Amino acid sequence: MELTDLDAAQEVLSAAYGTMRIDGGRERSWMRMASQLLGPIRFDEVSGSIELEVTSEPQPSYIFGHLDNGRVRYRADGEEHLVAPGEAFLTAKPGLPYRAAIDDPQAMLVVLDQSVVDGVVGGVCFSGCDAVSRRAAASWRSMCVHLRDEVLPVFHHEPLVVANATRLLVATTLATFPHSTPEEQAADRRDAHPLTVRRAIAFIEDNAAKNISVADIAHAARVSIRAIQLAFRRHLDTTPMAYLRRVRLSCAHADLRVGNGSVTAIAARWGYARPSVFAAHYRAAYGVSPSRTLRSR
């Protein structure tokens, strides 16, 4: 979508990022925006020959970005930020307004809600707007481009692949931007007992084919996310999601033994976008390649 009218740009940007007021500083300006969805996450590409002064009302979601060209200067949560090409940034936390001056931008943006983060690791909030390093910013951008350009177009119809891609994006974003984690509570330690693990395992084994999160597992076990994570570490020396991956690999093994599809199709069905990664995990668990199991049925 290409926009040359500031009123139209304000309408489009407000719909995408929360209510905005825009003041332009250049005649014959233009701006281009393209969006793609990966499950609950939206990837945007924004570029243009334009000077903008933007005032945003509190936004409903996190908006992370990587600036490839141009300049962005903004004020959020009482702090001034100047973004140069090659840097990653968070515009503001959900519920907080911000002001920005944008010159000739070329940027990739990622929009996600707090609920998406909570589905991967509960209680975590992003606390800083600047990436921890330029190297981390570059790795984050590379991962986002991989998901947007390689995973999304091919596997958008595979819910477990999309779920795993979402977890990868959240995990990489957590490694890239400062964040806070809740302290472990006495109730969490008290609830991390074997019965909690048994409830969680029963839920996982009954629902391995569905897109379930650690929050879903904790809810089924009737404890907090922190408690379920502590229980799995204490009694199984693993995490709930690692246990889920093990169960799904077992399901993939069963599909291979009966010939329920090709190796690539079975891998995608159980959450693997890359057959090579599936093959490595499968060989580590079963001592043979997936193709050999399929051929020996």
Domain containing 202 — which CATH number? 1.10.10.60
What would the two tokens of residue 288 be? 């043979």
Contacts of 109 (CB under 8 A, 6+ apart): 43, 44, 45, 46, 63, 64, 65
Residues 110 and 206 in one domain: no
Same domain, residue pair 51 and 165? yes
- Say yes or no: 235 and 116 in one domain: no
DSSP conformation letters of 114-173: HHHHHHHSTT-EE--SB-S-HHHHHHHHHHHHHIIIIIHHHHTT-HHHHHHHHHHHHHHH
Question: Based on the domain organization, do 27 and 136 belong to the same domain?
Answer: yes
Tokens of 8: 């139209």
Of 176, 205, 236, at which residue does a domain stop?
176
121 and 71 part of one domain? yes
Our count of domains for the chain comes to 2
Task: State in Å, rounded, how far the first CA of the chain is from the last one.
Answer: 51
Q: What is the mean pLDDT of residues 231-258?
A: 95
Q: 153 with 214, same domain?
A: no
Domain closes at, from 143, 176, 209: 176
Instruction: Check whether residue 190 and residue 267 sit in a common domain.
Output: yes
Please determine, for residue 95, whether its predicted confidence score (pLDDT) is greater than 90: no
pLDDT digits (tens, 9 = 90+) for 27-69: 667 788 888 888 889 999 988 887 778 888 888 889 999 999 9
Task: Look up the pTM and report it.
Answer: 0.84
Average pLDDT over residues 59-87: 89
Q: Indicate whether 24 and 98 sit together in one domain.
A: yes
Helix-strand-coil percent breakdown of the chain, rounded to 5? 50, 25, 25
Domain enclosing residue 44, as ranges: 2-176
Same domain, yes or no: 139 and 285? no
**Cα angle at 264 between 259 and 269, to 5 degrees?**
80
Q: What is the pLDDT of residues 197-232, one digit of tens each?
A: 999 999 999 999 999 999 899 999 999 888 899 999
Give the CATH number for residue 163: 2.60.120.10
What is the identity of the amino acid at 116? V
Q: What pLDDT is stored for residue 217 in this prediction?
A: 94
* Same domain as 226, residue 162: no
